[in-house]
């Protein structure tokens, strides 16, 4: 701990500086020296120095100890707080945005909550994409007081009971000795600040409920259950913290004719017995147009035909899936007398053929039962 600079000097504040002044000075310097921003060789050391100074001067107990005894080896801690000065810079964000554990600065900026929005879209909208506006209710910082909750022109006072820490120590003398408990400050409710004159727009909450219109671009090829993240479109942060994110969960309606599996489209086309037997050229609806499909003579029911590239655009990558057409031969249920007679003739004429197929089927079945 040789040549350690005075913490007040590091932050550039005087001994009597308020908690607010300490915090302001720290934020300014932390941003200035943060290694992500400042590429100077000594930025990292400067940043650590600033952080260490702030960790002491922002904590009433540590600050009092420091004022009395000066620098103490951080490895020995300050008896209770146990700040870890050797930690990386990552936790600057914990401090700013309210991650991490332990004692938190109740006045530190806090990231807003994430929001989730469920959106139901049509089958074809999922295939081709869609742009739309949605309106979501969300909590935003009050414009009148910029989130402070204090009437414009005034600012919240630092709570005099807890000096802005939001916590109170309660010392109890028990038969087992002195016990020190920490609890949320009762004067300020743990906020560390007291608003004397409330902002009338938000009634001192610093936040207001708003309906917000957001433009959403749904990419072509999304599937049911897909989730879009819209950065910074969640709820507003507290005390200048960043807004949360908005997650849009996509629900895709089913289609009366098409079914989808990943990038491929499936559909079923009914064929008459005559079409299946004699062959035909039929029109198949695809997602974009109608295409002609040649059905060869003697097509069996349940046969699949593939229409290449007529499926869904790939969300990641290029190209499209295919469309698979399953043909189903439909047995007629209502026949006129004439049709019935023609079918009888047909059965008679083709008796041999039908018999042939049936014969081979029964032969195979017999073999299967005999086991040879
Ligand atoms: Zn307000
Ligand atoms: Zn308080």
Q: Which residues pair with 9 in a beta bridge?
A: none
Is pLDDT above 80 for 88? no
In the reported structure, the alpha carbon of residue 277 is separated from the centroid of ligand 2 by a whole-number distance in angstroms of 88
Write down the mean pLDDT value for the chain: 82
Is pLDDT above 70 for 36? yes
Report d(CA 185, CA 187) in Å as an integer: 6
In the reported structure, the alpha carbon of residue 193 is separated from the centroid of ligand 2 by a whole-number distance in angstroms of 6
pLDDT, residue 351, reads 59
**Mean pLDDT of the 18-37 span:** 86
In the reported structure, the alpha carbon of residue 239 is separated from the centroid of ligand 2 by a whole-number distance in angstroms of 17
Report d(CA 163, CA 148) in Å as an integer: 18
Q: Quick one: tokens of 147?
A: 């989130």
In the reported structure, the alpha carbon of residue 22 is separated from the centroid of ligand 1 by a whole-number distance in angstroms of 25
In the reported structure, the alpha carbon of residue 190 is separated from the centroid of ligand 2 by a whole-number distance in angstroms of 6
Give the ligand with the smallest distance to the CA of 144.
1
Give the ligand with the smallest distance to the CA of 157.
2
Q: Quick one: tokens of 333?
A: 């249920």
φ, ψ (nearest 5 deg) of residue 358: -65, -40
Around ion ligand 2, residues with a beta carbon closer than 5 Å are: 159, 161-162, 185, 187-188
The 3-state secondary structure of 251-320, one letter per residue: EECCCCCCEEECCEEEEEEEEEHHHHHHCEEEEEECCCCEEEEEECCCCCCCCEEEECCCCCECCCCCCE
189-to-110, 156, 167, 184, 304 alpha-carbon distances in Å:
17, 14, 9, 6, 69
Give the ligand with the smallest distance to the CA of 197.
1
Give 142 or 358, the one with higher predicted confidence.
142
Span 258-277, pLDDT tens digits: 999 989 999 999 999 899 99
In the reported structure, the alpha carbon of residue 166 is separated from the centroid of ligand 2 by a whole-number distance in angstroms of 5
Span 227-260, pLDDT tens digits: 999 998 888 887 678 888 999 999 999 999 999 9
Is pLDDT above 80 for 112? yes
In terms of C-beta distances under 8 Å and separation of at least 24 residues, what long-range contacts does 211-214 make, across chains too?
211/135, 211/136, 211/137, 212/135, 212/136, 212/137, 212/138, 212/140, 213/133, 213/134, 213/135, 214/133, 214/134, 214/135, 214/136, 214/246
In the reported structure, the alpha carbon of residue 337 is separated from the centroid of ligand 2 by a whole-number distance in angstroms of 96
Span 297-356, pLDDT tens digits: 999 999 999 999 999 988 877 889 999 999 999 998 888 999 989 888 888 776 555 566
In the reported structure, the alpha carbon of residue 152 is separated from the centroid of ligand 1 by a whole-number distance in angstroms of 8
Helices 43-57, 60-69: axis angle to 10 degrees equals 100
Give the ligand with the smallest distance to the CA of 169.
2
Radius of gyration for the chain, computed over Cα atoms and rounded to the nearest angstrom: 37
Give the ligand with the smallest distance to the CA of 236.
1
Around ion ligand 1, residues with a beta carbon closer than 5 Å are: 142, 144-145, 199, 201-202
Give 84 or 340, the one with higher predicted confidence.
340
In the reported structure, the alpha carbon of residue 139 is separated from the centroid of ligand 1 by a whole-number distance in angstroms of 12
pLDDT, residue 147, reads 80
**Mean pLDDT of the 359-367 span:** 79
Cβ contact 94:100 at 8 Å? yes
In the reported structure, the alpha carbon of residue 165 is separated from the centroid of ligand 2 by a whole-number distance in angstroms of 7
pLDDT, residue 270, reads 95
Give 96 or 26, the one with higher predicted confidence.
26
What percent of the chain clears pLDDT 70, i.e. is strictly above it?
Answer: 86
Other CB atoms within 10 Å distance of the CB of residue 310: 20
pLDDT, residue 80, reads 34
Give the three-state DSSP class for 124.
Answer: helix
Span 176-212, pLDDT tens digits: 777 778 888 888 888 888 888 999 998 888 888 888 8
Give the ligand with the smallest distance to the CA of 142.
1
Cβ contact 155:146 at 8 Å? no
Span 205-219, pLDDT tens digits: 888 888 889 999 999
Is pLDDT above 80 for 53? yes
pLDDT, residue 276, reads 94
In the reported structure, the alpha carbon of residue 104 is separated from the centroid of ligand 1 by a whole-number distance in angstroms of 24
Element (H, E) at 358: helix 351-370
pLDDT, residue 104, reads 58
Report d(CA 274, CA 297) in Å as an integer: 9
DSSP state, 74?
Answer: G
Strands in 69-175 per DSSP E: 115-121, 130-141, 157-158, 167-174
Give the three-state DSSP class for 180.
Answer: strand
In the reported structure, the alpha carbon of residue 115 is separated from the centroid of ligand 1 by a whole-number distance in angstroms of 22
């Amino acid at each position: 701990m040789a040549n350690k600079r005075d913490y007040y000097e590091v932050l550039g504040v005087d001994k009597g500086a308020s908690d607010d002044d300490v915090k302001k000075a720290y934020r300014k310097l932390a941003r200035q020296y943060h290694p992500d921003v400042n590429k100077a060789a000594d930025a990292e050391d400067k940043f650590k120095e600033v952080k260490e100074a702030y960790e002491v001067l922002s904590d009433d107990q540590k600050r009092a100890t420091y004022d009395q005894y000066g620098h103490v080896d951080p490895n020995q801690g300050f008896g209770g707080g146990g700040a870890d000065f050797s930690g990386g810079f990552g936790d600057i964000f914990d401090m700013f945005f309210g991650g991490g554990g332990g004692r938190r600065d109740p006045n530190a900026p806090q990231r807003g909550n994430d929001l989730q929005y469920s959106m139901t879209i049509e089958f074809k909208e999922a295939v081709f994409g869609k742009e739309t506006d949605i309106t979501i209710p969300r909590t935003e910082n009050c414009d009148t007081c910029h989130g402070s909750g204090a009437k414009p022109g005034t600012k919240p006072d630092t709570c005099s009971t807890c000096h802005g820490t939001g916590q109170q120590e309660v010392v109890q003398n028990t038969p087992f000795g002195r016990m020190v408990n920490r609890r949320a400050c009762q004067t300020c409710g743990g906020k560390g600040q007291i608003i004397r004159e409330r902002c009338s727009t938000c009634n001192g909450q610093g936040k207001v409920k708003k309906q917000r219109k957001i433009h959403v671009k749904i990419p072509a090829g999304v599937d049911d259950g897909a989730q879009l993240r819209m950065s910074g479109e969640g709820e507003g942060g507290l005390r200048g913290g960043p807004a949360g994110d908005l997650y849009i969960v996509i629900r895709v309606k089913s289609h009366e004719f098409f079914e989808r599996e990943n990038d491929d489209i499936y559909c079923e086309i009914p064929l008459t017995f005559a079409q299946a037997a004699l062959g035909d050229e039929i029109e198949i609806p695809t997602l974009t147009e109608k295409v002609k499909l040649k059905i060869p003579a003697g097509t069996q029911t349940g046969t699949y035909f593939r229409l290449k590239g007529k499926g869904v655009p790939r969300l990641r990558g290029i190209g499209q899936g295919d469309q698979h057409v399953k043909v189903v031969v439909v047995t007629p249920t209502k026949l006129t007398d004439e049709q019935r007679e023609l079918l009888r003739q047909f059965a008679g004429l083709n008796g041999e053929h039908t018999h042939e197929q049936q014969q081979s089927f029964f032969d195979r079945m017999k073999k299967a039962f005999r086991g040879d």
